[in-house]
Amino acid sequence: MKSIRLATAVVVAAALSVPSTLVATAAPVDRTPGHSAKDTLRGAAPKGFHIGTAVAGGGHHESQPYPDPFTSDQPYRRVLAAEFDSVSAENQMKWEYIHPERGTYNFGMADKIVRFAKQHGQVVRGHTLLWHSQNPAWLEQGNFTAAGLRSILRDHIKRVVGRYKGSIQQWDVANEIFTDTGALRTTENIWLRELGPGIIADAFRWAHEADPKAKLFFNDYGVESVNAKSDAYLALITQLRAQHVPVDGFSAQSHLSIRYGFPGDLETNLKRFSALGLKTAITELDVRMDLPESGVPTEAQLAQQADYYTRTLTACLNVRGCDSFTIWGFTDKYSWVPVFFQGEGAATVMGDDFSRKPAYTALRNTLAARR
Ligand code: 9MR
């Protein structure tokens, strides 16, 4: 039944003239040897609840002593296919990768992710369209007029969102636009600085025109709790929705650390957004820790980490409209954490060899209990 549905989807996609590079034949879902379908995260998840991961490539990986993980590491690909039914581009859809020169798009890496997702019955989260970081030099250092810059953003959104029309379930349209005190990032963010806050509504409108079915999100870190930053999102989204701007969702990245307490009001916070009729999502969960000198986490650390993963998942499961839960990588082998936080690591749910940590088991059991 499943393969027939997938095959139909492929035919329909082809008929809608999706670029031929994206059309894939349906293939059975690979499974990690030794694990049955039920014994995976996607197998344990309740119907309609998407369990996702970032797909490793670009960004910090390029400075590491290994080849591109997603395209080179076969065991990695097998676990990616077996465990998850949602994938996010960790870096591959960011401006510096997908639009490296003015007028030149490089869709190769993103196409491969979308094709992989189709082959394995996964949905895709697109990340990201309007951000202050990982923009190419030609954009950041170009000397554009406001009108010129506006048309650059419009063309980018139309081209990128349009290319993957029908293939992306959720887009992070605007990423990290507020500071921790709830002020718009008008200094670092080229779009807000040069074009003013009105550009946010335009970005959502253009994305919606390019793919009316994709759910369009605001995405940020440090918004797990009720605080100045999440308050700022609540106020902005309320205002935009009153103006009929097509905003569909609000997502909390959730880069957590056991150094700090768990954001216990996560569920309460997400429910404020859900009450506006929005979807919510957890988009980049990882739980880092200070590593002991041996480099090996203690049992107590692993238990606390498992608890943070479980509580984040439970909060999402308890909120209507929170049906997408993504971890920012699934193996410590490729995590961004040790590269950005000295002395910290072990933030994902699997070891370097894809061995399952207590956090993995806790997630799977929590999902299974809600089936
Ligand atoms: O995981 C990404 C890493 O490979 C990049 O080097 C880094 C550069 O900023 O971005 C990481 O992903 C970020 C995401 O795009 C937005 N939220 C924070 C994530 C972790 O930094």
Report the pLDDT averaged over residues 143-165: 98
Count of Cβ atoms closer than 10 Å to residue 26 Cβ: 18
DSSP-based helix, strand, coil % in the chain, nearest 5? 45, 15, 40
Evaluate if residue 3 carries a pLDDT over 90: no
Amino acid occupying residue 225: S
Options 1.20.1600.10, 3.40.50.720, 3.20.20.80, 1.25.40.80; which CATH number does 24-369 get?
A: 3.20.20.80
- 91 Cβ closer than 6 Å to some ligand 1 atom: yes
Q: Could you identify the residue written with the tokens 């699997």?
A: 350
- CA distance linking residue 78 with residue 235, whole number of Å: 42
Cβ neighbours of residue 7 closer than 8 Å, sequence gap 6 or more: 25, 26
* AA letter at 323: D
| Sequence-ordered list of residues with C-beta below 8 angstroms from that of 163, at least 6 positions apart, any chain | 19, 107
Q: Which long-range contacts (CB under 8 A, 24 or more apart) does 196-202 make?
A: 199/130, 199/150, 199/153, 200/130, 200/174, 200/236, 200/240, 201/240, 201/243, 201/245, 202/150, 202/153, 202/154
Q: Which helix (H) or strand (E) holds 198?
A: helix 198-210
- Report d(CA 328, CA 253) in Å as an integer: 9
Over the stretch 256-289, which tens digit does the pLDDT of each residue have? 999 999 999 999 999 999 999 999 999 999 999 9
DSSP 184: B
Q: Which of 249, 132, 127 is nearest to 199 (CA)?
A: 132
Q: In 3-state terms, what secondary structure has residue 21?
A: helix
The band of 42, judged by pLDDT with boundaries at 50, 70 and 90, is very high
Ligand 1 neighbour 269 (Cβ under 6 A)? no
pLDDT at 14 over 90: no
pLDDT, tens digit, 9 for 90 and up, residues 166-185: 999 999 999 999 999 999 99
Give the distance (Å) from ligand 1 centre to CA of residue 327: 13
Report CA(52)–ligand 1 centroid distance (Å).
Answer: 16
Ligand 1 center from residue 59 Cα (angstroms): 7
Q: How do 279-290 and 249-252 pair as beta strands?
A: parallel
Q: Is the CB of 220 under 6 A from ligand 1?
A: no
Locate the ligand 1 atom nearest the alpha carbon of residue 328 and give its number: 1
Q: How confident is the model at residue 8 (pLDDT cuts 50, 70, 90)?
A: very low
Residue 59 Cβ < 6 Å to ligand 1? yes
